[in-house]
């Protein structure tokens, strides 16, 4: 303000001096006063021009810099420019934080939808788009009730009781591949709502598998326990001759063995799921594995029937597989024992271990059993799944063998495949990747296939 007064006084003084200099004799004071007033008006006009320039600069967005010199307008310009720069910097920082926040929501594994007070969509992430089938260009500001028409969701939205979540099928849900979503709304702000969606298909399946597992284990153990309890009561209360006594004791031993096998398989599965993956640096001889499997197969065939099966073992020699010998033997022999149990006596069972041209290896069991209908094949590796429950119990199966084979195969980077034709038999194969197969010694040539019958 002082600078404005000083410049005004200087401008008037200069113009007054000029008026005194050009005035005629006797008119000095008139010219001096007139020129002083003109100088004041000139200063005022220039000051207004500077103010108008500042106003125009503000109206144009205050984007380009300009110079207004010193004084009130220059100081106002400097202060406004600093405030605008601080405001722009704050806006940029806020925008960056908002972008980071939205990026975090976009990366969320859960669906996120922001709704206004009228339940219209303001924003959603890609996960929510997949859950509900939203399109960013088409569905923004659309009422969510017009896009998600599941009756349970409609009732949930209308009730406005968001203390709990609701479940509904996902957009891609169908009979063969069900998808289940959990949807929970959270009010915030002035009537706005945050909608969170979560795919709980795997959780629901795991819970169903857990319930089935507990039910199946309870059932499988209860059956032989009931039989044992009945035989024990019979032996305690009835007077039996030696032949009857031996018969009952044999049946009790059979049921006890069944329970022992079931517990053993359950412990094997538990150990497979909880232990580290087998090392790729431990190598197991295929010759030894196959000889062990062959001996066990012949013993099992003799135990199950008087007339043994026609067992044929074909393999290459001098070959090794990396992994756990115990797990590999369990998987290979489970396939062989299944073939023996389900193939009629006297028929042929072929067991083969072969190397492929790409360096990988395949273990294969081919039987002449009753075969399996195609609709059962995808579920054969489920725990306790049986095509024919009564027949499985007759053969002593626990329903866990193929589940063990699948786990062992996955732990060794291998793949279990099943092919079957009803009435013609089945082929079970485990394909081992090339990096888990090698010759026993550097430079050792593999001998031709040999057969053991």
Mean per-residue pLDDT pooled into runs of 10, the chain (453 residues): 61 67 62 68 71 74 68 72 83 84 85 93 92 90 91 90 89 80 91 92 81 74 82 82 85 83 80 82 91 89 77 85 91 91 87 89 92 87 72 60 90 92 92 89 42 34
CATH number for the segment(s) 278-452: 3.30.565.10
> Architecture of domain 109-199 in CATH?
2-Layer Sandwich (3.30)
As annotated, the residues of the chain forming the CATH 3.30.450.20 domain(s) are 109-199
Strands of the sheet with 415-421, listed across from one edge:
415-421, 425-432, 361-366, 348-355, 310-315, 450-452
Task: List where CATH 1.10.287.130 sits in the chain.
Answer: 204-275
So what's the pLDDT on residue 204? 83
Q: How far apart are CA 228 and CA 231, in angstroms?
A: 5
User: Collapsing DSSP states into helix, strand and coil, what is residue 443?
Assistant: coil
Nearest to residue 450, comparing CAs of 319, 329, 262? 319
What pLDDT does 415 receive? 93
pLDDT of residue 23: 62
Q: With the CA atoms of 319, 323, 326 and 327 taken in that order, what torsion angle do they form, in degrees rounded to the nearest 10?
A: -110
Q: Which CATH architecture has domain 204-275?
A: Orthogonal Bundle (1.10)
The reported pLDDT for the residue numbered 445 is: 41
Position of tokens 């039996």? 240
Would you tell me the crossing angle of helices 325-342 and 401-411 to the nearest 10 degrees? 150
Report d(CA 321, CA 437) in Å as an integer. Answer: 5
What local confidence, expressed as pLDDT, does residue 3 receive? 58
Looking at residue 397, its pLDDT comes to 62
Global pTM value: 0.54
From-to residues of CATH 3.30.565.10 in the chain: 278-452
């Amino acid at each position: 303000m002082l600078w404005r007064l000083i410049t005004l006084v200087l401008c008037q003084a200069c113009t007054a001096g000029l008026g005194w200099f050009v005035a005629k004799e006797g008119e000095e004071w008139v010219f001096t006063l007139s020129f002083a007033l003109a100088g004041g008006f000139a200063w005022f006009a220039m000051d207004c021009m500077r103010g108008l320039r500042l106003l125009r600069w503000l109206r144009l967005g205050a984007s380009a810099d300009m110079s207004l010199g010193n004084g009130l307008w220059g100081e106002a310009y400097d202060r406004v420019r600093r405030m605008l720069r601080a405001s722009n910097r704050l806006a940029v920082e806020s925008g960056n934080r908002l972008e980071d926040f939205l990026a975090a929501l976009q990366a969320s594994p859960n669906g996120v939808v922001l709704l206004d007070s009228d339940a219209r969509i303001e924003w959603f992430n890609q996960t929510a788009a997949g859950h509900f089938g939203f399109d960013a260009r088409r569905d923004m500001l659309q009422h969510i009730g017009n896009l998600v028409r599941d009756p349970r969701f409609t009732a949930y939205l209308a009730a406005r009781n968001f203390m709990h979540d609701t479940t509904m099928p996902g957009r891609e849900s169908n009979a063969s591949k069900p998808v289940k979503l959990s949807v929970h709304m959270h009010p915030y702000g002035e009537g706005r709502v945050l909608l969170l969606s979560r795919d709980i298909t795997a959780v629901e399946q795991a819970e169903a598998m857990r319930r089935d597992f507990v039910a199946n284990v309870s059932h499988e153990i209860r059956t032989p326990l009931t039989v044992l309890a009945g035989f024990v009561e019979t032996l305690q209360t009835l007077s039996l001759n030696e032949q009857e006594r031996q018969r009952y004791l044999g049946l009790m031993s059979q049921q006890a063995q069944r329970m022992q096998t079931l517990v053993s398989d359950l412990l094997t599965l538990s150990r497979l799921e909880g232990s580290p993956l087998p090392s790729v640096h431990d190598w197991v001889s295929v010759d030894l594995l196959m000889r062990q499997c062959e001996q066990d197969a012949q013993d099992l065939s003799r135990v199950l029937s008087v007339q043994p099966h026609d067992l044929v073992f074909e393999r290459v020699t001098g070959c090794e597989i990396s992994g756990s010998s115990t797990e590999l033997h369990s998987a290979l022999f489970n396939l062989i024992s299944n073939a023996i149990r389900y193939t009629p006596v006297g028929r042929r069972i072929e067991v083969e271990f072969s190397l492929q041209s790409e360096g990988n290896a395949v273990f294969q069991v081919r039987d002449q059993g009753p075969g399996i209908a195609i609709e059962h094949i995808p579920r054969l590796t489920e725990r306790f799944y049986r095509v024919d429950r009564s027949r499985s119990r007759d053969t002593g199966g626990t329903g866990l063998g193929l589940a063990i084979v699948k786990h062992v195969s996955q732990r060794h980077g291998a793949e279990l495949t099943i092919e079957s034709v009803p009435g013609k038999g089945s082929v079970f194969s485990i394909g081992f990747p090339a990096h888990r197969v090698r010759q026993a010694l550097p430079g050792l040539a593999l001998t031709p296939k040999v057969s053991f019958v």
